[in-house]
Structure 1
Amino acid sequence: MVTIWDVAKDSKVSKSTVSLVINNSDAVKMETKLRVLESIKKLGYVPNMAARELQTKVKNILGMVFLVNESAQKSHSFHSITETLFYDTFSGISSQLKDTDYGLLSERFSAVNQTSLPSLIKNNRVDGVFIIGGLFSEAFIKQLQERKIPAVLAGRYFPGIDSVAPDVHHAIYTGAKYLLENGHRNIAFINGPEQMQVAQQKLEGFEKALQETSETVMDKAVVHTDYTGTAGYQAMKQIWESGKRPDAILAASDGIAVGAMRYLYEQNVRIPDDISIMGYEQSIISEHAIPALTTMNISKEQMGEEACKMLLRRIETPNAEIVNHTVETSLVIRDSVRKR
């Protein structure tokens, strides 16, 4: 096994100089640094990260916490929130870390029980953390800030903490406009939980699109529910059993949309012949649905990339100004919407 002593001997420097080079110190001359790096490459030396942490207090591990409605629930369950947001955001994060020394730990954390913090934060196992998703309370963020751990929110804004999120207002506005432009005038909007800020922003986008249309909207329905397939199914059932017969459904997530599609299938309602339906997120389930689901792309991989840049910046410059970044959204047209 190659040791730091072997590198020091090969590059004709001291062990402490090799250590300084490994830690990217500016105290080493460039000529010496290049010679040490050449020896490291030639010998195939891999630094002992555990020993490095003892010396520098740096773990070189970042945490990813995905907020879910129930941590014990299987991630692929129809009753749970589909975790495509986590996986797609992770792809963006990992692409930005490939040329760094950082590794990743992940944890699913229940959005219901937020009297404590995720274990990877409580146990001081990471140098910084990504909080992925919007299912958190003000109390949760306050606890996070009290720990003084570098953190970035991916998927939702919150004052006083770095964040990157899509423009949800504009995304739902764009989706509603697309339905209106295709002749739909009887639109139902199945939104997320009413108490969530992001759901309010989505509702405002929906209302704005309706207000701007030059033609009279015959009817509309707004139902608030959770972001699960089961919740989408029950919301669609509620609309249908109330006697309403919308010509289009706009859903606040692909999971909700697929749940609504299941209920409509059971009622022998054809999509898009009898009713059009749109989702929000651009997840893998939107492409696998039958018919393939027209949806809003919220740029999840880009969100992960930006979140990673922001967290590395926060670790390097703890007192830097708070940044809230917005990623663009776009319409993905598939087969679930037809022109009326």
Structure 2
Amino acid sequence: MVTIWDVAKDCNVSKSTVSLVINNSDAVKLETKLKVLESIKKLGYVPNMAARELQTKVKNILGMVFLVNEATQKSYSFDSVTETLFYDIFTGISSHLKDTDYGLLSERYAADGSENLPNLIKNKRVDGVFIIGGLFHDEFIQQLQEQKIPAVIVGRLVPGVDSVAPNVTNAIYLGTKHLLETGHRNIVFINGPEKAQASKGKLTGFNKALAEFERDVDSAVVFTDYTGNAGFRAMRELWDSGKHPDAVIAASDGIAVGAMRYLYEQKIRIPEDISIIGYEQSIISEHAIPALTTMDINKELMGQKASEMLMHRIQNPDGNIVHHTFETSIVLRDSVKNRG
């Protein structure tokens, strides 16, 4: 087996110089670096990553923690949160890391307020971590900070921690404004859980659009979970109560598709009888029938930005905390009718 000593002997340099080249140090002259890299290639040397970690205390592994309601629940169940958000953010993260030495570990985790942390953090298996999703309590962030591990929150801005999130207020504002501009006058907002931080921001956007409109509009807000079944139940309860809106805007694509299933079962046509707008821009919005108009929150770009931020935090552990907000846009499909 070829060793680091063989490489050093072949190109007439010290073992420490070879080690510096392997670790991509700037302390080695370019001419020497190229000579060492050529020798590594010629001899077929493969660095011992375990030994490297012992020497440098760098694992070259980053963690992705997907925050869920229940860690054991199937992600494709109608009564669970669709995990398209996680996948698309992961795509952005991995695309930014493709030219680096970092690999990725992932863990689904329910931040239920207990003193436990995800295993990949608790067992110090990673050099840094992405926390994806907003389903956590303040205690979770406090425990995370106590671990002193570089971290970026993706999906919610959090004081004291690097974080990146969409402008949830503007997203629902733009969606509601579109419904008003297309002649809808009886609009229901099916929001997420009432206590969730994102739900408060989304409600602000809904009310802002209504306040700016100069005509009378009937409106209502209901709160539910981010699942298809929750959207189904919310739509059923609205209809059974006698509330028959001409448009619905939902706090997630999953909620929107659940509401669409109820309307389909009642033979209520979309968009002829009622228009509907989702939130996320996920694969299910294009697969819905009719294709769902939705708010694009730039998930892949958030993942790329989060990766950039975590790399910077690892290299600059004492730098200023960074918060980044992504603006959103509407993706027009077939689920909204112009009633003007």
**Normalised TM-score (structure 1):** 0.97
Aligned 8 A contact 2:111 2:140 in 1 = no
Aligned equivalent of 2:216: 216
Counterpart Cα distance in 2 of 1:259 and 1:107: 27
Q: Equivalent residues in 2 for 1:103-118 (5 A)?
A: 103-112=103-112, 114-118=114-118
Choose 128-137 or 111-120, whichever is displaced more.
111-120
Counterpart Cα distance in 1 of 2:9 and 2:230: 65
Aligned equivalent of 2:290: 291
Give, in angstroms, the shift of residue 201 of structure 1: 0.4
Distance 1:114-1:266 versus aligned 2 partners, 3 A rule: farther
Q: Equivalent residues in 2 for 1:31-42 (5 A)?
A: 31-42=31-42
Counterpart Cα distance in 1 of 2:40 and 2:206: 58
Choose 202-211 or 1-10, whichever is displaced more.
1-10
Give, in angstroms, the shift of residue 23 of structure 1: 1.5
Aligned equivalent of 2:142: 142
Aligned equivalent of 2:335: 336
Q: Equivalent residues in 2 for 1:1-340 (5 A)?
A: 1-112=1-112, 114-217=114-217, 219-340=218-339
Choose 129-138 or 19-28, whichever is displaced more.
19-28
Aligned 8 A contact 1:65 1:131 in 2 = yes
Unpaired runs of 5+ residues, structure 2, are none
Counterpart Cα distance in 2 of 1:50 and 1:122: 20
Residues 54-85 of structure 1, C-alpha deviations (whole Å, 9 max, x = no match) = 11111000000000011110111111111011
Counterpart Cα distance in 1 of 2:23 and 2:138: 37
Q: Which amino acid aligns with 2:48?
A: N
Give, in angstroms, the shift of residue 47 of structure 1: 1.8
The Cα RMSD (Å) is 1.2
The runs of at least 4 consecutive aligned structure 1 residues that moved more than 4 Å come to none
- Identity value in percent: 74
Distance 1:80-1:112 versus aligned 2 partners, 3 A rule: farther
Aligned 8 A contact 1:231 1:256 in 2 = yes
Residues 139-188 of structure 1, C-alpha deviations (whole Å, 9 max, x = no match) = 00000000000000011111000001110000110000011111001000
Counterpart Cα distance in 2 of 1:74 and 1:207: 35
Counterpart Cα distance in 1 of 2:299 and 2:54: 36
Counterpart Cα distance in 1 of 2:7 and 2:293: 57
Q: Which amino acid aligns with 1:196?
A: A
Counterpart Cα distance in 1 of 2:265 and 2:111: 31
Distance 1:10-1:226 versus aligned 2 partners, 3 A rule: same
Residues 178-215 of structure 1, C-alpha deviations (whole Å, 9 max, x = no match) = 11111001000000111111100000000000111121
Residues 237-281 of structure 1, C-alpha deviations (whole Å, 9 max, x = no match) = 111111100000000000000110111111111111110000000
Q: Which amino acid aligns with 2:337?
A: R
Aligned 8 A contact 2:91 2:300 in 1 = yes
Aligned 8 A contact 2:92 2:301 in 1 = yes
Q: Which amino acid aligns with 2:297?
A: I
Give, in angstroms, the shift of residue 36 of structure 1: 1.0
Q: Which amino acid aligns with 2:202?
A: K
Q: Which amino acid aligns with 1:275?
A: I
Counterpart Cα distance in 2 of 1:45 and 1:191: 56
Give, in angstroms, the shift of residue 221 of structure 1: 1.2
Give, in angstroms, the shift of residue 3 of structure 1: 2.9
Distance 1:321-1:183 versus aligned 2 partners, 3 A rule: same
Q: Which amino acid aligns with 1:7?
A: V
Aligned 8 A contact 1:279 1:293 in 2 = yes
Give, in angstroms, the shift of residue 9 of structure 1: 2.6
Matched position secondary structure for 1:320: coil
Aligned 8 A contact 1:70 1:112 in 2 = no
Give, in angstroms, the shift of residue 45 of structure 1: 3.0
Q: Which amino acid aligns with 1:26?
A: D
Residues 25-47 of structure 1, C-alpha deviations (whole Å, 9 max, x = no match) = 33323321221122223444332
Counterpart Cα distance in 2 of 1:181 and 1:40: 64
Give, in angstroms, the shift of residue 327 of structure 1: 1.4
